[in-house]
Amino acid sequence: MNIISLQRIIVFLLALLQFYSNQIYGQNKFVNFNSTQEKEYFNLADNNKNLLKLSLLADIDEITADKNISRIDSYINQLNWADADHAKPSKKLKTLFKNIHNTFLRIYDENANVYDMFENGKYNCVTASILYSYIFEYINIPYQIKEEPTHVYVVAYPSKHNIMIENYYSNGRCFCSKH
């Protein structure tokens, strides 16, 4: 490869880099935040708690968001998950599923937002998946969030047991099965 070809490649790569950096910067100019707290947590969204707080700040103030997060954290601490027998994860997850639904998720509403889940128990597949992923992260359950064209759900222990956590009651029954 001669020096002229190498220079052309370097110029091309620099132009490409400049183009994409301008694209990213340009997109940031069009993001509208509801509050300075939302913008702050958007920039700090590096852990599970900040991500949950960010999703709450889209609808409520920071004090109310902190109260809701504290409520979840208290709920998780009373689970004593570390002391639980994990020999049969499917059975343990069914119990956890029922408990989460009894505590947080009461009425399926496809138009619910994250705050509705805490305020009146209304939820949808997205908001319930946010809650499950927060709890699973906190108690060290490996999980994946799966997305289909019209649905979102969580799979627990994806590499070992592949247990699908369906985020709504089906005919009044909980649904927690191998995927």
pLDDT of res. 24: 43
* Distance separating alpha carbons of residues 148 and 165, to the nearest angstrom: 14
Residue 67 lies in a domain: yes
Residue 74 lies in a domain: yes
Q: Which residues of the chain have pLDDT under 70?
A: 1-35, 37-47, 83-87, 168-179
Helix or strand or coil: residue 33?
A: coil
Whether the Cβ atoms of residue 136 and residue 155 lie closer than 8 Å to each other = no
| Torsion angle, alpha carbons of 122, 127, 132, 138, to 10 | -110
Total-model pTM = 0.71
Residue 26 lies in a domain: no
Mean pLDDT of the chain: 75
Give every CB contact of residue 18 below 8 A, 6+ residues apart in sequence: none
Residue 173 lies in a domain: yes
Helix or strand or coil: residue 152?
A: strand
Give every CB contact of residue 162 below 8 A, 6+ residues apart in sequence: 155, 178, 179
pLDDT tens digit string along 39-80? 666 666 666 777 777 778 778 888 998 999 999 999 999 987
- Number of structural domains (the chain) is 1
| Torsion angle, alpha carbons of 125, 126, 131, 137, to 10 | 110
pLDDT of res. 56: 81
Residue 9 lies in a domain: no
pLDDT of res. 86: 61
Residue 162 lies in a domain: yes
Residue 102 lies in a domain: yes
Estimate the crossing angle of helix 48-57 against helix 125-138, to 10 degrees. Answer: 150
pLDDT of res. 22: 46
pLDDT of res. 171: 40
Residue 8 lies in a domain: no
Domain that holds residue 42: 36-178
pLDDT of res. 23: 43
